[in-house]
Amino acid sequence: MEPLTDNISSHRYFILKAFDELRALRPVLFIPFFILFVVSLFSNSLLLYLIISHKSLHSPMCILIACMAGIDLSLPLVFAPDMLLRLLLDWTGISLSACLLQMYLLHLLGTCQSTLLLWMALDRYFAICTPLHYHEHMSVLRFSKFVIPLLIRNVVMISAVVSLAGSRSFCLGNVISHCICEHMALVELACGSTSINSLVGLITIFFITVLDFLIITISYIIIFRSVLRSGTSGAKALHTCVTHLIVMSVSLTFVLTAFLSYRIRNSLPATSRAVVSIIYLFLPSCLNPIIYGIRTTEIRHHILKTLTSCRRGQT
């Protein structure tokens, strides 16, 4: 029993080994991930700057888009600098407290992405189905009734998941087969049964991601029915929903891909699982501002105007 106690007490420091099979190529992986990081920072910063600096973009939908850009800007900052330095300098170690902090921020921001898509769906529902009362529903006081309970739900459930993970003793090794601290990647190193951790994780996925998706689906079914009944004018209004459907589809696709790739981890190399997770975290942050910039007419106009002004200034 004594050696086991020593092992349990000593595993407060972990080694991230996602790309151990590609040790010689680890610095090469730095290049594409660094490019994704720069694209994410630039595009989301530009989107935030345009919406904040132009009063014509201070509509409820544009404010929600700015919130999405803020989340998409924050998410890579949580894991990318640390991951890039590990690839470039071959660092592998991380403390338990740092691992839990990264896990908490990653999962909390991820749930906020899901919930923000729900808020956007509600915005489109009010704009298309109840246009005469749109500004009344989207007032700060009324809309906070939708926002605050969902934010409290996200914070409470993610705090429970991370707290349960942090309360475990880790005696099955200290090597995490990943480049970031994901929940189950850490928990699988814990002593004894981890069924409670898995159960709480699944409940969290259901009451956040799945529930948000169901409400979004119901909202768009009602919107589509309203559009079909209203004819041509409704069809024009439906165009504004296409952007959110594209973003939602992209986000859900990568969420499911990352989730399933971890569940079938025995059939996939650790490197493949890590790449899928990194793409899942990076790509929405890179694609969302591009999609919104192209599909949203007002934002596209200001982007072109800003880029044109920059070119004239350089000339």
Region 126-147: what's the mean pLDDT? Answer: 83
Q: 247 near 289, Cβ under 8 Å?
A: no
Region 271-279: what's the mean pLDDT? Answer: 75
Question: Does the structure show a pLDDT above 80 at 133?
Answer: yes
Among 245, 278, 244, 286, smallest CA distance to 106 is for 278
Per-residue confidence (pLDDT) for residue 164, from 0 to 100:
93
| Segment among 88-92, 149-153, 180-184, 217-221 with least mean pLDDT | 88-92
Per-residue confidence (pLDDT) for residue 267, from 0 to 100:
57
Domain membership of residue 238 as a residue range: 2-314
Higher pLDDT: 21 or 2? It is 21
Please give the model's pTM, rounded to 2 decimal places: 0.85
Higher pLDDT: 101 or 117? It is 101
- E strand or H helix that includes residue 239: helix 232-263
Question: Does the structure show a pLDDT above 70 at 148?
Answer: yes
Residue 253 CB neighbour total at 10 angstroms: 13
Per-residue confidence (pLDDT) for residue 99, from 0 to 100:
93
- The CA-atom distances, in angstroms, between 194 and each of 23, 161, 197, 270, 273 are 31, 12, 5, 21, 21
Higher pLDDT: 273 or 261? It is 273
Reported in sequence order, the residue ranges of the chain that DSSP labels E, i.e. its strands, are 13-16, 93-95, 175-176
Please report which confidence band the pLDDT of residue 8 belongs to, taking 50, 70 and 90 as the band edges. Answer: very low
Region 262-276: what's the mean pLDDT? Answer: 65
Burial annotation 99-113 (CB, 10 A radius, 16+ → b, else e): bbbbbbbbbbbbbbb
Alpha-carbon dihedral 264, 265, 269, 271, rounded to 10 degrees: 110
CATH of the domain at 45: 1.20.1070.10
Please report which confidence band the pLDDT of residue 257 belongs to, taking 50, 70 and 90 as the band edges. Answer: low
Region 34-50: what's the mean pLDDT? Answer: 92
Q: 75 near 110, Cβ under 8 Å?
A: yes
Region 80-99: what's the mean pLDDT? Answer: 86
Per-residue confidence (pLDDT) for residue 45, from 0 to 100:
93
Region 265-281: what's the mean pLDDT? Answer: 70
- The CA-atom distances, in angstroms, between 93 and each of 209, 262, 278, 313 are 31, 22, 19, 46
DSSP 8-class letter at 188 = T
| Segment among 23-32, 185-194, 204-213 with least mean pLDDT | 23-32
- Name the range with the highest mean pLDDT among 56-60, 61-65, 96-100, 278-282: 96-100
Please report which confidence band the pLDDT of residue 174 belongs to, taking 50, 70 and 90 as the band edges. Answer: confident
Separation between Cα atoms, residue 56 and residue 138, nearest integer Å: 17
Question: Does the structure show a pLDDT above 60 at 155?
Answer: yes
Question: Does the structure show a pLDDT above 80 at 312?
Answer: no
Query: What's the total number of domains in the chain?
Result: 1
Please report which confidence band the pLDDT of residue 7 belongs to, taking 50, 70 and 90 as the band edges. Answer: very low
Per-residue confidence (pLDDT) for residue 5, from 0 to 100:
42
- Name the range with the highest mean pLDDT among 120-124, 148-152, 174-178: 148-152
- The CA-atom distances, in angstroms, between 301 and each of 167, 237, 245 are 51, 19, 21
Question: Does the structure show a pLDDT above 80 at 156?
Answer: yes
Question: Does the structure show a pLDDT above 90 at 147?
Answer: no
Per-residue confidence (pLDDT) for residue 6, from 0 to 100:
43
